[in-house]
Amino acid sequence: MKKAGRPIIPRKTIYRLSIYLRCLARLRENAINTVSSEALAQAAGVKPTQLRKDLAYFGAFGTRGLGYEVNALSKRISDELGTSSLQPVILVGVGNLGLALLSYRGFEKEGFEIVAAFDAAPKRKRDKQIHLPIWGMEKLKNFVHEKNVKMAILSVPAAAAQTVANELMAAGIMGILNFSPIVLAVPEDVMVNNVNLAIELENLSYFIQG
């Protein structure tokens, strides 16, 4: 959770750095070399001062009067986030949602690859062909060790989630992207990000009722 030897950067800032990185990628595609905090902030949906504060956590490299060099800033943020190298990820729980996520091949472009899928019933019939084999849970531990996988996508039913999460952690997984609708109990050094589409919709529906 903390990065030794560097200033502690707030969670929210890290999240926004990812957003800035994607905005910068689009600028690059359009062959734009230089950008002001004003313009970049606008693209990212934040205030210019916030952008500058965020960048200030890991040093200054803008040019006053001019702005930031797009390539240099991209590189710097990318280094900071550690996204320069492709991270292997496993997916556990190939039910409806897990299958959906597997068939969505949009992770690779962004530096992540789902390298294996696991399920309690690997042979179960599924209504869609996928290119990746599905392994039984007994194969998980060895695989994670051998391939040195650190991250997992968890898409099992609520009732199984905590048990499976425990297996993942025992195998050495340190980061879990949790799609199951329960709050996982994990030790401090394991990181969980929750994604719950139903809650997102519920949240929207609240705010649009006037």
Partner DNA sequence: AAATGTGAAGTTGTTCACAGCT
Partner DNA sequence: AGCTGTGAACAACTTCACATTT
Q: Is 47 in the site for DNA (CB under 7 A)?
A: yes
Q: Is 183 in the site for a copy of itself (CB under 8 A)?
A: yes
Q: Which does 56 bind (CB under 5 to 8 A by kind): DNA, a copy of itself, none?
A: DNA
Q: Exposed, middle or buried by CB within 10 Å (0-12, 13-18, 19+), for 188?
A: exposed
CA distance 34 to 66: 8
Q: Is 43 in the site for DNA (CB under 7 A)?
A: no
| Closest CB 65 distance from a copy of itself, rounded Å | 27
Half-sphere exposure of residue 129: CA atoms within 13 angstroms, side-chain side = 1
Query: Based on CB atoms, which residue is closest to DNA, 110 or 200?
Result: 200
| Closest CB 11 distance from DNA, rounded Å | 5
Judged by CB under 8 A, the number of residues near a copy of itself is 64
Q: Is 166 in the site for a copy of itself (CB under 8 A)?
A: no
User: CB–CB of 99/130 below 8 Å?
Assistant: yes
Q: Which does 12 bind (CB under 5 to 8 A by kind): DNA, a copy of itself, none?
A: DNA
Q: Is 104 in the site for a copy of itself (CB under 8 A)?
A: yes
Residue 188 token pair: 């401090």
| Closest CB 55 distance from DNA, rounded Å | 5
Q: Which does 66 bind (CB under 5 to 8 A by kind): a copy of itself, DNA, none?
A: DNA
Query: Based on CB atoms, which residue is closest to DNA, 48 or 95?
Result: 48
Query: Based on CB atoms, which residue is closest to a copy of itself, 123 or 205?
Result: 205
Given 44, 62, 91, 184, the residue binding DNA (CB under 7 A): 62
- Chain contacts with a copy of itself (rule: CB under 8 A): 1, 3-4, 11, 14-15, 18-19, 22-23, 26, 43-45, 81-83, 87, 89, 96-97, 99-101, 103-107, 109-112, 127-129, 150-151, 158, 174-177, 181-183, 191, 193, 195-210
